[in-house]
């Protein structure tokens, strides 16, 4: 039976870099945010979101992501409502994806909110990526061309590293690419031998 390895970490911790590295080793990696974004362009999800949040979040049959973000990111109840529409669809999609990759000893599910969404419960092990706050802030400011306060707000909406670490089987401290790859290799070796 294929094992599911969760990969998570706060914004700017380096999840994407680690996921890409794991993928380069021939291990299937499911990027939950990318798949959710794709699913959010389906008519079924757009209709459900429009019903929940009003027609102003849809322009000519397309989701207005900026408008939706303005509504949900400062309101935990509305964010929860949006997640209750999207997460079940991502779960179904992921289950089909795992079935397609059942010949692999394990697959990796990369998700920013692996714990918050409850999907860690379906994982056989979880890897958390950490990095110092200032490093994370700088990475996101550079990547998203945004400001410090916006990034801090997003960080405050996520679990802390301490919360994630407490529920994780492995922790990677992402300070340099070479050191991080070495830690990933060691963890993958342990997983292969389990």
- The 10s digit of each residue's pLDDT in 11-26 is 999 999 999 999 999 9
Residues in the annotated binding site for ATP? 12-17
Distances in Å between the Cα of 100 and the Cα atoms of 30, 80, 93, 107, 117 are 12, 30, 11, 11, 23
Per-residue burial over 92-130, b if 16 or more Cβ lie within 10 Å, else e, is: ebbeeebeeeeeeebbbbbbbbbbbbebbeebebbbbbb
**pTM for this prediction:** 0.91
Please check the confidence at residue 105 and state whether its pLDDT lies above 80: yes
What pLDDT, on a 0 to 100 scale, did the predictor assign at position 165?
97
Beta-carbon neighbour count of residue 140 at 10 Å?
21
Domains of the chain from N-terminus onward: 1-28+101-190 (3.40.50.300), 38-100 (no CATH)
Dihedral of the CA atoms 104, 97, 164, 158 (nearest 10)? 160
Residues in the annotated binding site? 12-17
């Amino acid at each position: 039976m294929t094992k599911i390895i969760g990969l998570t970490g706060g914004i700017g911790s380096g999840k994407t870099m680690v996921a890409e590295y794991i993928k380069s080793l021939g291990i299937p990696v499911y990027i939950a945010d990318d798949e959710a974004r794709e699913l959010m362009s389906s008519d079924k999800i757009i209709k459900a979101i429009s019903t929940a949040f009003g027609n102003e979040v849809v322009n000519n049959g397309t989701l207005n992501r900026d408008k939706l973000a303005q509504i949900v990111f400062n309101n935990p109840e509305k964010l929860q409502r949006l997640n209750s529409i999207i997460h079940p669809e991502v779960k179904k999609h992921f289950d089909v994806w795992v079935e397609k990759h059942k010949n692999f000893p394990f697959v990796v599910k990369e998700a920013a909110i692996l714990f918050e969404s409850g999907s860690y419960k379906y994982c056989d092990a979880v890897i958390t990526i950490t990095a110092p706050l200032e490093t994370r802030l700088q990475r996101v400011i550079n990547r998203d061309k945004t400001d410090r306060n916006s990034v801090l707000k997003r960080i405050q909406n996520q679990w802390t590293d301490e919360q994630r670490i407490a529920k994780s089987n492995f922790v990677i401290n992402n300070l340099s690419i070479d050191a991080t790859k070495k830690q990933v290799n060691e963890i993958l070796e342990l997983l292969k031998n389990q």
